[in-house]
């Protein structure tokens, strides 16, 4: 269990963050989010939906996520009573048989929306949440017709509607005659206010007939509305999976794959090799490229003569060690003081085809006041921009001066086929800044900041 992927959850009652293994959390939420009496295939589909959302939200499931009010499965003993063991077994089976399976779109977990009953068709995302989502498209669903939540009636009296909507109905005076087309029409009264004729529904009555039929006290009557009934079809926002529709599909022999593919458009459903809490970068491949080396020493510090090639190698070796501890597979373009041509670096990267290529350098500028760490991305490489800004954010928190991220057109960028980031750690032309690079603590701050940025970038 220790090595499984954990979900951070803010426990309101205990007022603290707790960590639960992912699969355990899926089971807890399954009990909470769906009718336990549903078919096993429906439960499996829902388990995958929940797991997907947990991984998608794992960045935010901490303090600000109160979406789920979880309770431990033991708490269902009182509710399920003699069906408790049977239901727990069912939950465990749904979780176990879908272990690690999630729904992805473009290789990322989707926002797997679901609701109780769609009422005939699900919705396009832009009609509900204002932005278009490729996999949340309208699909016809006649599976949920006649399900328990198909029709929902809610009756209000006039005063309630006025209060809830802060709206006013017209003042009803003495001589108010309520005519509602098709229901009550053609009310005809004599000069004393007595009803002579009235059409109710498809029938016309004499006022005096109504006295008998409805046991009224006189023909001098008015009709007032007292209430409104709203009848809605379906229950929920209508996005993504319709639970009762899914259940009907399962009853008719569909499995969880059929169900999920039906309600989410164009997605992949697959088992992911989940990183665990100790190895959050499991199987991520990164090439770190310490610049220069050998006779090409890069820049030389103005103050104490530190060499760029030494600083970037020291930092790269430390970074490699740290990222490997987190499960990543790290390649260096050089691991000692050795001259490597740019083309060799490019070839190596393109053979390995890593998830990211990161070049490390030091900068130099005629104006000796210039200082701080700066990032470069290639053209419209959004991934590189994202990683660069995550790293900068973390460096800032570590008292490393930062300059920002901008576009660069380096030879190495043009050659390497994967997302690449170039980091200029600081200025060797600034004597104060140069001295910092002699301090192991400063190097460690840089390593920590880069590591945390990488972690944030690769987190699900
Ligand atoms: Zn439906
Ligand atoms: Zn350089």
pLDDT tens digits for range 99-111:
999 999 987 889 9
Q: Is the backbone of residue 292 left (phi > 0), alpha (psi -120 to 50) or beta?
A: left
CA distance 20 to 9: 7
| 441 Cα–ligand 2 center, Å | 22
What would the mean pLDDT of 53-81 be, rounded to a whole number? 73
Please give the distance, rounded to the nearest whole angstrom, from the Cα atom of residue 132 to the centre of ligand 1: 20
Dihedral pair phi/psi, residue 382, rounded to 5°: -65, -30
Q: Looking at the CA of 307, name the nearest ligand.
A: 2
Give the list of residues 6+ apart from residue 301 with CB closer than 8 angstroms, or none.
307, 428, 431, 434, 437
Query: What is the Å distance from ligand 1's center to 98 Cα?
Result: 23
Predicted pLDDT of residue 58? 60
Q: Which ligand is nearest to the CA of 426?
A: 2
Task: List 156's β-bridge partners, or say none.
Answer: 228
Give the closest ligand to the alpha carbon of residue 238: 1
The whole-number pLDDT of residue 3 equals 56
Beta-sheet pairing, 373-377 with 402-407: parallel
Lowest mean pLDDT among 90-94, 165-169, 313-317, 447-451: 165-169
Q: How far is the CA of 376 from the centre of ligand 2 (A)?
A: 13
Interacting residues of 411 by C-beta distance below 8 A, sequence separation 6+: 342
* 277-332 pLDDT per residue, tens: 667 888 789 999 999 999 999 999 999 999 999 999 999 999 999 999 988 999 99
Among the bound ligands, the one closest to the CA of 144: 1
In the reported structure, the alpha carbon of residue 289 is separated from the centroid of ligand 2 by a whole-number distance in angstroms of: 11
Chain centre to alpha carbon of residue 325: 28
pLDDT of residue 252: 96
Ligand 2 centroid distance, CA of 413 (Å): 14
In tens, the pLDDT along 379-433 reads: 889 999 999 999 999 999 998 999 999 999 999 999 999 999 999 999 999 999 9
Q: Which residues contact 10 (CB under 8 A, 6 or more apart)?
A: 16, 17, 18, 61, 62, 63, 65, 66
**Rounded to the nearest whole angstrom, what is the distance from the C-alpha of residue 194 to the centroid of ligand 1?**
52
pLDDT tens sequence across 265-276? 999 999 887 766
Question: What's the whole-number average pLDDT of the chain?
Answer: 90
CA quadruple 277, 279, 284, 286: dihedral sign? positive
Task: Using the mean position of ligand 1's atoms as its centre, give its distance from the Cα of residue 253 in Å.
Answer: 17
37 contacts 308 by C-beta, under 8 angstroms: no
Compute, in angstroms, the gap from residue 139 CA to the centroid of ligand 1: 9
- Expressed in angstroms and rounded, the spacing between residue 121 Cα and the centre of ligand 1 is 6
Cα(346) to centroid of ligand 2, in Å? 16
**Sequence-separated (6 or more) residues with CB below 8 Å from residue 35:** 243, 247
Question: 449 alpha carbon to ligand 2 midpoint, in Å?
Answer: 20
Tell me, in angstroms, the distance from the centre of ligand 1 to residue 52's CA: 21
CA distances from 190 to 193, 194, 195, 198, 211 (A): 5, 5, 7, 12, 16
- Summarize the confidence of residues 328-341 as an average pLDDT: 96
Pick the CATH number of 285-458 from 3.65.10.10, 3.30.420.40, 3.40.630.40, 3.40.630.30: 3.40.630.40
Of 10 and 62, the one with more pLDDT: 10
| Ligand 2 centroid to residue 443 C-alpha, Å | 17
CA dist 239 and 334 (Å) reads 51
Judged against a pLDDT cut of 80, whether residue 6 lies above it is answered with no
Cβ proximity of 378 and 395 under 8 Å: no
- Tell me what percent of the residues of the chain surpass a pLDDT of 90: 68
CA 333 to ligand 1 centroid distance, Å: 55
pLDDT in tens, 125-160: 998 888 889 999 999 999 999 888 888 888 999 889
Quote the ligand 2 centre to 325 CA distance (angstroms). 27
Whether residue 322 contacts residue 252, with contact meaning beta carbons closer than 8 Å, is answered with: no
Measure 147 CA to ligand 1 centroid, in angstroms.
Answer: 9
Q: What is the pLDDT of residue 62?
A: 40
Kindly list the domain boundaries of the chain, sorted by start residue. 6-116+126-140+242-271, 176-218, 285-458
The number of CA neighbours under 13 Å toward the Cβ of 194 is: 13
Q: Looking at the CA of 311, which ligand is closest?
A: 2
Q: Residue 221: its pLDDT value, please?
A: 86
The string of DSSP letters for 292-349 reads -BTTB---B-SSS--BHHHHHHHHHHHHHHHHHHTT-EEEES-SSS----HHHHHHHH
The ligand whose atoms approach the alpha carbon of 289 most closely is 2
Please report, for the chain, how many H helices and E strands are present, in that order.
14, 18
**pLDDT value of position 276:** 64
Q: What is the DSSP letter of 194?
A: -
Quick one: pLDDT at residue 7?
77
Residue recorded with tokens 């009235």: 198
What pLDDT does 64 receive?
41
- Global ipTM: 0.61
- The CA 433 to ligand 2 mean position distance, Å, reads 16
Nearest of 346, 328, 348 to residue 285 by alpha carbon: 328
pLDDT in tens, 214-271: 999 999 888 888 888 888 888 899 999 999 999 999 999 999 999 999 999 999 999 8
Q: How far does residue 436's CA lie from ligand 1's centre (Å)?
A: 63
Q: How many residues does the chain have?
A: 460
Examine the pLDDT at 65 and tell me if it is beyond 70. no
3-class DSSP assignment, residue 227: strand
Task: Provide the token pair at 119.
Answer: 């009422």
Alpha helices (H) along 67-206: 77-80, 84-96, 158-165
């Amino acid at each position: 269990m220790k090595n499984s992927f954990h979900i951070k959850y803010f426990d309101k009652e205990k007022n603290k963050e707790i960590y639960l293994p992912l699969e355990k959390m899926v089971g807890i939420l399954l009990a909470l989010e769906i009718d336990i009496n549903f078919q096993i295939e429906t439960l499996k589909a829902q388990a995958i939906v929940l797991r997907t959302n947990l991984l998608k939200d794992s960045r935010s499931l901490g303090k600000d996520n109160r979406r789920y009010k979880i309770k431990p499965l033991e708490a269902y003993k009182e509710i399920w009573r003699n069906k408790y063991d049977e239901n727990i077994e069912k939950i465990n089976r749904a979780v176990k048989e879908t272990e690690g399976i999630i729904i992805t779109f473009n290789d990322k977990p989707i926002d797997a929306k679901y609701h109780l009953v769609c009422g005939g068709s699900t919705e396009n995302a832009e009609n509900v949440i204002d932005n278009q989502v490729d996999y949340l498209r309208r699909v016809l669903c006649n599976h949920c017709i006649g399900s328990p939540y198909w029709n929902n009636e809610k009756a209000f009296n006039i005063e309630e509607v006025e209060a809830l909507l802060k709206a006013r109905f017209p003042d009803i005076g003495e001589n108010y005659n309520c005519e509602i087309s098709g229901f009550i029409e053609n009310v005809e009264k004599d000069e004393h206010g007595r009803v002579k004729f009235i059409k109710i529904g498809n029938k016309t009555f004499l006022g005096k007939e109504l006295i008998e039929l409805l046991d009224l006290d006189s023909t001098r009557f008015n009709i007032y509305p007292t209430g409104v009934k709203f009848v809605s079809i379906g229950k929920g926002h209508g996005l993504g999976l319709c639970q009762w529709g899914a259940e009907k599909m399962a009853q008719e022999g569909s499995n969880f794959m059929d169900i999920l593919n039906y309600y989410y458009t164009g997605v992949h459903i697959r088992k992911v090799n989940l990183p665990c809490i100790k190895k959050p970068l499991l199987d991520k491949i990164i090439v770190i490229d310490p610049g220069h080396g050998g006779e090409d020493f890069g820049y030389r510090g103005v103050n104490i003569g530190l060499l760029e090639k030494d600083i970037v190698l020291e930092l790269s070796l430390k970074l490699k060690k740290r990222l490997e501890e987190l499960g990543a597979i790290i390649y260096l373009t050089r691991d000692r003081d050795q001259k490597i041509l740019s083309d060799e670096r490019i070839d190596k990267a393109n053979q390995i085809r890593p998830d990211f290529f990161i070049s490390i350098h030091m900068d130099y500028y005629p104006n000796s006041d210039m200082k701080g760490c700066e990032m470069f991305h290639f053209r419209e490489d959004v991934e590189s921009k994202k990683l660069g800004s995550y790293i900068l954010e973390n460096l800032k928190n570590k008292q490393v001066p930062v300059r920002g991220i901008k576009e660069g057109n380096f030879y190495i960028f043009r050659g390497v086929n994967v997302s690449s980031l170039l980091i200029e750690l600081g200025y060797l032309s600034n004597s104060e800044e140069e001295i910092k690079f002699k301090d192991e603590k400063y190097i460690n701050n840089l390593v920590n900041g880069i590591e945390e940025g990488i972690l944030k970038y690769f987190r699900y």
